[in-house]
Amino acid sequence: MGNTNKLEIDVNGARTSLAGLDRQGLADALGHIGVPERQRRMRVAQLWGWLYVRGVTRFDDMSDVSKELRAKLAAAYSLERPEIVSEQVSVDGTRKWLLRLPKRGHDMRAPEVETVYIPEADRGTLCISSQVGCTLTCSFCHTGTQKLVRNLEQQEIVGQILLARDRIGDWPGAAAPQDGRLLPESDRKITNIVLMGMGEPLYNFDNVRRAMSVAADGEGLSVSKRRITLSTSGVVPEIGRWGSEAGTMLAISLHATRDELRNELVPINKRYPIAELMAACRSYPGVSNARRITFEYVLLKGINDSLADARALVKLLAGIPAKINLIPFNPWPGTRYECSEWGQIEAFADYVNAAGYASPVRTPRGRDILAACGQLKSESLKTRARDRVATQHANEPDVVG
């Protein structure tokens, strides 16, 4: 089991956190400290409830676990979540956490990622990261200017859900956080999860799959698979596998309907062009009119926002059970793109609506705290990115648009 090895290795000698492990990972962890095989199932069930129903952060709170075992667990493991460096609250209630992760292997310094909570009238969505940075370089994405540092571990992915629940008081009987900014009861619950933070989740397949199995587990965090959406830039060979092994909802970052333009906006398109991507969508396991694929389309002024583009989009998606999610471009320091004019966004949305797609324009949330799509990026790296983009501009006079 990969989990077994991970439990043994920790370069800093820090104790491995159990918070975020799946059942197999917990069983292995118990095995490591000498819990006999025949007891493990029962012990895993106990831990599961404490970790994922109650959200406890101390072994001592696990009142039905024997004192002796609690001591053994505490000596070998922790229940830590990723460390919160900062928490920002937007005027619209969106919250963004900057998290610091422990250094591993070849990390030069402690990596950082971001998690965003977006409360809405009928739902609360948590947008989580799957990698530190991203190996892909979509030209309109802030994260894409940051080099990949590493994949997130299973605990670091689930840990984002746990700490968000800690901070917004979303555990049964949870006490209000000290800062007095607790959201009203009706807004509290995290009902949906989107893998739309930093990173390309299909390039961290196993950790993301295990983490989502923990999130979806009906005896624990209980976020149903229909309320979990994985967004991919189009890693075609992994799409079908994700559908059959994880079975969550799928979102595709499409953004262009012609290969020539998509090659530029979403460079992975050069490897897996649009026709192959559409074929993978058509055969996505479980796809139906009740389980549609979301196509994300960021509207970039003068680049992909004409009515001809809207027509091409509708034509391309014909025959695929689809939803269209139009995203006004969220600018970030140093970008060469601009958000489409509001009138143009409306005209585009009207066309797509008239063609039979409910196509909500995704209202940008948390813009004041740079928490909107594609703006995620650790504070500490911003200066460097600005420099980099400025250099790029100087060297590349053929800026699109």
Residues near ligand SAH, by CB under 6 A: 138, 140-142, 196, 200, 231-233, 253, 296, 298, 327, 329-330, 373-375
Contact 314, 352 (CB under 8 A): yes
Residue 114 known to be catalytic = yes
Count Cβ atoms within 10 A of the Cβ of residue 354 and give its class: 0-12 exposed, 13-18 middle, 19 or more buried: exposed
274 binds ligand SF4 (CB under 6 A): no
Q: Distance between CA atoms of 315 and 293, rounded to whole angstroms? A: 16
Number of helices and strands (H, E) in the chain?
13, 13
In Å, how far are 55, 257, 284, 315, 348 from 356, measured between CA atoms?
43, 18, 22, 12, 13
C-alpha triplet 284, 287, 288: angle, nearest 5°: 155
Set 114, 153, 156, 238: catalytic member: 114
Q: How far is the CB of 18 from ligand SF4 (least distance, A)?
A: 29
Nearer CB in complex with ligand SAH: 153/200: 200
Q: Among ligand SF4, ligand SAH, none, what does residue 192 contact (CB within 5–8 Å per kind)?
A: none
Cβ of residue 222: shortest distance to ligand SAH, in angstroms?
Answer: 24
Residue 194 pairs in a beta bridge with 127, 229
Cβ contact 296:254 at 8 Å: yes
Nearest residue (CB) to ligand SAH, 159 versus 374:
374
Comparing C-alpha atoms, which of 363, 329, 323 is closest to residue 140? 329
Would you call 53 helix, strand, or coil by DSSP? helix
Torsion angle, alpha carbons of 206, 207, 209, 214, to 10: 140
**Given 127, 141, 339, 373, which residue is catalytic?**
373
* 27 makes contact with ligand SF4 (CB under 6 A): no
Asked if 233 interacts with ligand SF4 (CB under 6 A), we say: yes
- The answer to the question of residue 141 lying near ligand SF4 (CB under 6 A) is yes
Tokens of 361: 């324009």
CB nearer to ligand SF4: pick between 17 and 229:
229
Minimum CB separation from ligand SF4 for residue 144, in Å? 3
Residue 115 in the binding site for ligand SF4 (CB under 6 A): no
Nearer to ligand SF4, 80 or 112 (CB): 112
How far, in whole angstroms, is CA 27 from its chain's centroid? 26
Which one, of 316, 303, 300, lies nearest residue 260 by Cα?
A: 303
Under rule CB under 6 A, residue 281 binds ligand SF4 = no
Region near ligand SF4 per CB under 6 A, out of 134-142, 281-289, 320-328, 383-391: 134-142
Provide the minimum distance between the beta carbon of 19 and ligand SAH in the complex, in angstroms, as a whole number.
Answer: 24
Distances (CA, A) of 340 to 211, 305, 306: 36, 7, 10
Q: Among 35-43, 50-58, 136-144, 342-350, which window interacts with ligand SF4 (CB under 6 A)? A: 136-144
Return the one option of ligand SF4, ligand SAH, none that residue 304 interacts with (CB less than 5 to 8 A, by type): none
Question: What residues pair up with 119 in beta bridges, in sequence order?
Answer: 124
Q: Is 86 helix (H, G, I), strand (E, B) or coil?
A: strand
Query: Using CA atoms, how far apart are residues 348 and 292, in angstroms rounded to an integer?
Result: 21
Query: In the bound complex, what is the minimum distance in angstroms from residue 138's beta carbon to ligand SAH?
Result: 6
Cβ of residue 276: shortest distance to ligand SAH, in angstroms? 16
138 binds ligand SF4 (CB under 6 A): yes
153 is an interface residue for ligand SF4 by CB under 6 A: no
Enzyme catalytic residues: 114, 373
Binding site for ligand SF4 (CB under 6 A): 134, 136-138, 141, 143-144, 199-200, 233, 253
